[in-house]
A and B are shown apart, each in its own frame.
Chain A
Amino acid sequence: MAVIAEPVAAHVKRSSLWTRAFESRNFLGAMFMVPAIAILILFLAYPLALGFWLGMTDTKIGGAGRYIGFANFVSLAKDSVFWLSVFNTIFYTVTASIVKFAIGLYLALLLNEHLPFKSMIRAIVLLPFVVPTVLSAIAFWWIYDSQFSIISWVLIKAGLITRYIDFLGDPWNARLSVVAANIWRGVPFVAITLLAGLQTISPSLYEAANLDGATNMQRFRHITLPMLSPIIAVVMTFSVLMTFTDFQLIYTITRGGPINATHLMATLSFQRAITGGNLGEGAAISNAMIPFLVAAILLSFFGLQRSRWQQGGRD
């Protein structure tokens, strides 16, 4: 052994700094992380930091701005359109999320039963998720059109109403219309994710509950809901985040109108920053979304975090 060990030691002594670096765990580890860190900095950290910085300046398109501290936020605080957009965003998020959850859970439970044509129904449920957002938004725009709306046409032919409904001309009609479009688009994600969760619940738990004397409702209340709660937490967090930051649907269907009744914070930010040219103010509106998003994440993190029964091991 000693005979073999000696030449190795000599070799290490002779090797260059470069060779030794590549034999070091720490150096290699750092090297392997460089690409990931570079991507994170370039595409996540830099835009976020730039957004923060722009929000503190009066930058306009075509001109470098100056640092003005919190002046953008102060003026936004007095801006009624901004507060309307905050209200719209919250209304849009809360209403759409609740309805998406209810319909999604219903569909998931339905698809978890033995139905005829199950795989076909499952494919149909996924359809809204597959269609590009802008395409479906244009379809909704057409459905909500003041003159050619198919809904109004059907209702008039059925004799239920006498005048075409002004879906996108009236503030509340418009709000509810875009909420409906968002629900249509968001339900598949909730339904399919919850269905995946339902399928992980062992059938023998239902059989045991059945023998224990549980009714259908009790099985849902005592088995399905608690077993599904971790998936519900994840899917609803995602759903809330995606709804809160929605842009495409609104921008395509209403562009924030009528009289800013459907402006979300995201669309208002885009309008002020890109269309209006006030990059600083637009960035400030975007930054104002952050506290809401953080609050939503924390709520789901603490309120619905892994319960004690899910954690493994002994106490």
Chain B
Amino acid sequence: MSSVQIRDVRKSFGNFEVLHGVSIPIEDGQFVVLVGPSGCGKSTLLRMLAGLENITSGTISIGDRVVNNVQPKERDIAMVFQNYALYPHMTVGENMGFSLKLRNASSDEINKRVKRAAEILALSPLLDRYPRQLSGGQRQRVAMGRAIVRDPQVFLFDEPLSNLDAKLRVAMRTEIKELHQRLKTTTVYVTHDQIEAMTMADKIVVMHDGIVEQMGTPLELYDKPENQFVAGFIGSPAMNFLKGHVRVNGVATFEGPNGVKLPLKNAPANSDGRPAVYGVRPEHFTIADDGADAEIIVVEPTGSETQVFAKVGGEQVVAVFRERHQFNPGDKVRLKPDPSLIHLFDDATGKRL
């Protein structure tokens, strides 16, 4: 186990820079999730950490060793690939023991370690099968087994669940988290799915267009997003954004589209008339007499909660209710955001106010 330091790392392919100076400290034993939309550079960063891509500038260190010029095989890391990259001509056992075999471990030692990893992952009955004979979830577990057997300093996961169906993905998510709690190996996990990030991470790093937008614990990111991008990316359904102006005349309010009045707990200093973006999560709406006028468009019950799409000041917003309201399309209701849970962002920069 080891800490990992990523310091001001840049990456260019030819003249095209995809990572513009990324710094991420990772503590020993931490589960860090790199999350962002496709093309944000998260997989490239992971591959640089693995040694599969060169580092254009900056440093990456594992433990207290700078690994910029260290061969992948000498970095003592194990990686789980998106397509699993299992060796099709080897059995499950051989796949898992391959790295030990390359290091000339004795066959007793290999057997022992493969068996132990197989027990952890419930793969024992499958050791003599070939990858082709396995289901997606089983292959995924073999890929993890191959990583565990190595007992490396760092685990790297590159979107490991994206090839699985929805149900299996949820199950594997729990399994990976449980595995980390058991082994406590430093883990860097790349995904584009913010729910995976929220549920698994000790620390989330939100990336966008080659920079780190914000890092922090899942709840920090949810409660205090530093900018509009993070606010919109974390949380499902996504946060509603309404453009308008801050009004401070006695009571602070937010004047939304078409003059709709929205409550503010307190306005930033000297911000009367300032153009801003009002952010409110769907789950922070309530039905109240002093709420904003809204017309219901679509109602989507999921059982545990109900998603309601409505028009507020001509803009579409989504609200989520745990209580069972009887709504029909076309109904007029009054939606009130909880003023202590709303977010204000600068209209031009998207930064949190």
Contacts and interface: CB of A to CB of B under 8 A. Distances in A.
Interface of A: 202, 204-205, 207-214, 218, 222-223, 226-227, 307-315
Contact of A218 (B83, B102, B130): B102
Contacts of B73: 210-214
B311 to A, nearest CB: 48
Contacts of A309: 88-90, 130-132
15 contacts: A202-B83, A202-B85, A204-B85, A207-B50, A207-B79, A208-B81, A208-B85, A210-B52, A211-B72, A211-B78, A211-B79, A213-B102, A227-B88, A309-B90, A311-B132
A307 B102 contact: no
Contacts of B51: 210-211
B80 to A, nearest CB: 9
B306 interface: no
B98 interface: yes
Contacts of B129: 315
A212 B51 CA distance: 12
Contacts of A207: 50, 52, 72, 79, 81, 85
B54 interface: no
A315 B91 CA distance: 13
B99 A204 contact: no
Interface in B40-62: 50-52
A202 B102 CA distance: 20
B89 A214 contact: no
Interface of B: 50-52, 72-73, 77-79, 81, 83, 85, 87-90, 98-99, 102-103, 129-133, 146, 150
A211 B99 CA distance: 8
B159 to A, nearest CB: 12
A226 B78 contact: no
A312 B99 CA distance: 26
B77 A211 contact: yes
A199 B246 CA distance: 60
A210 B74 CA distance: 10
Contact of A315 (B72, B79, B131, B133): B133
A308 B130 CA distance: 8
A314 B131 CA distance: 10
A308 B83 CA distance: 21
Contacts of B81: 204, 207-208
Residue from A204, A208, A218, A308 having most chain B Cβ neighbours under 10 A: A208
Contacts of A204: 81, 83, 85
Contacts of B50: 207, 211
Nearest to A206: B85
Contacts of B133: 313-315
A213 B147 CA distance: 12
A230 to B, nearest CB: 10
Contacts of A202: 83, 85
A183 to B, nearest CB: 30
B58 to A, nearest CB: 22
Contacts of A223: 87
A14 to B, nearest CB: 55
Contacts of B130: 308-309
Nearest to A214: B102
Residue from A204, A308, A312 having most chain B Cβ neighbours under 10 A: A204
Contacts of B131: 309
Contacts of B102: 212-214, 218
